[in-house]
Amino acid sequence: MLMIDRSKQIEMNRRAVLRTSGAAVLSGLALSSSVSGKRTNKNRVDALFGSTQNPVQPEEILALQKRRDEEGRSKPNGTADKATRAYAVPEVSEKQQIVGYLHTVDEHGVEITHILRHSEEDDEADIESKHEEIIGLKDRIEGAESVRSAYERERNTQSDFTQSVTPAGDNPDVGLKWTARANVFDRDGNPANGDNVCQHDVTIYEFTGDIDIDDDLWAMQGIYRALPERHTADPSDQEYPYMYYTDEMSIRQNYDVALPDATLRSTDPSGSENGSVNSSYSITAGTGGADASITWEYTQPDVSRDDNSDTSSYVDTAAWDFDPNTDDTASSPLQIEPGSSVRFEKAEGCDDSPTSWNLGRSRLHCEFDTLWYGSTIEREVSDTFMVSVCP
């Protein structure tokens, strides 16, 4: 069997990647635009490809990020020892594999991660289209003037799911004392194939303003979406346009995994509520005025919302559960936009601290039921945010 050392990142043309990454023995290729000998790219993009036999492992992602820490530390006059790096690492269930991973940094210093999963319900042939999605993103970003614009534009063209719900627009409105550090887009299911889709698009923020308390403050805010599978037998059937409907969505922003100790500070939406609600939401550092708040507006679909957040010590979890109230709501794309802020004990000096620590985890669990057969399909995305405080 031919073996590939993923630590030796290579540059390959588009056709070669698709030809090799589709084969089980050659899956798991690592691509980086930082080591191209033939062309100079404006932006560094790291990509990993996997298959069901050889999926991308979280350990590989951690190793890749460790190399980035080491590279930053070794640069002349580098500021890696002073700057805060944050990035997302996926968690994988027994029924999933990571088959596509991309990481880059935008012009504002925000670390972008794009993750594509393959579940046991998915067609094996669909993996190639997920590889194509990663390659399309990589190609677009490498030569772009604006990484952020290129990423969002290419991501939106990859899937019509993003066109099926109201876009976030300028939300959220981030106060001047907050700095975005990392963003993760993670998807289980392929909307291009009409699959049931479960995905989140989450950003974490560091409070960088002056504050009277001797703690670190962070926040997490995201867009969580569920899309039930389309009726593939007869797309023109308007009476039953969907084969599945969304039975429930569960969202967790939990900090019980965090090191050092964390205290959940604020969550929104707060409280339980039933029905469609248009409202403004906010999470805050608890001090510092308007510049210390992150606010956003969105319309909650016609769902029943249960707020199960728990601020108990060693729990510190923002938790919301949503059940659609009507068939129309259940068979339509659902979009939920919650957030939370958290307070951490300050890390000790770098000589005594680990290279990185867990900030918290974002998890979305979606359950889809059929209209006729009563079978249930569950999909989930879950990512832990790591913070490199002492590279």
Tens of pLDDT, residues 197-240: 999 999 999 988 876 667 788 999 999 999 998 654 455 555 55
pLDDT beyond 80 at 169: no
Confidence at 249, pLDDT banded by 50, 70, 90: very high
Q: Which CATH number is 172-391's, of 3.40.50.720, 3.40.50.1360, 2.60.120.310, 2.70.240.10?
A: 2.70.240.10
Comparing 104-108, 115-119, 238-242, 350-354, the range with the smallest average pLDDT is 350-354
Q: Which residues does residue 199 pair with via DSSP β-bridges, in sequence order?
A: 187, 225
Comparing 160-169, 229-238, 301-310, 365-374, the range with the smallest average pLDDT is 160-169
Maximum average pLDDT range among 27-36, 190-199, 299-308: 299-308
Peptide bond just before 333 cis, omega within 30 deg: no
The secondary structure element, H or E, covering residue 79 is: none
**What is the per-residue pLDDT for 311?**
85
The secondary structure element, H or E, covering residue 156 is: helix 147-158
Query: pLDDT > 70: what percent of the chain?
Result: 73
**What is the per-residue pLDDT for 360?**
93
Burial class (CB in 10 A: 0-12, 13-18, 19+), 267: buried
Parallel, antiparallel, or unpaired: how do β-strands 111-119 and 178-188 relate?
A: parallel
Between these two residues, 314 and 191, which has the higher pLDDT value? 191
Confidence at 23, pLDDT banded by 50, 70, 90: very low
Phi and psi at 159, nearest 5°, equal -145, 130
Peptide bond just before 228 cis, omega within 30 deg: no
Distance CA 138, CA 140 (A): 5
pLDDT beyond 90 at 391: no
pLDDT beyond 70 at 116: yes
- How does pLDDT run across 251-292, given as a tens digit for each residue? 999 998 877 678 898 999 999 999 998 888 898 876 655 567
**What is the per-residue pLDDT for 70?**
79
CA distances from 70 to 73, 125, 246 (A): 5, 37, 44
**What is the per-residue pLDDT for 106?**
94
Contacts of 300 (CB under 8 A, 6+ apart): 269, 273, 275, 276, 277, 278, 279, 336
Q: Which two tokens stand for residue 184?
A: 């993760």
Distance CA 382, CA 186 (A): 8
Task: Please name the amino acid found at residue 250.
Answer: S
Residues of the chain within CATH 2.70.240.10 domain(s) are 172-391
**What is the per-residue pLDDT for 81?**
42
pLDDT beyond 70 at 131: yes
Sign, CA torsion 364/199/202/172: negative
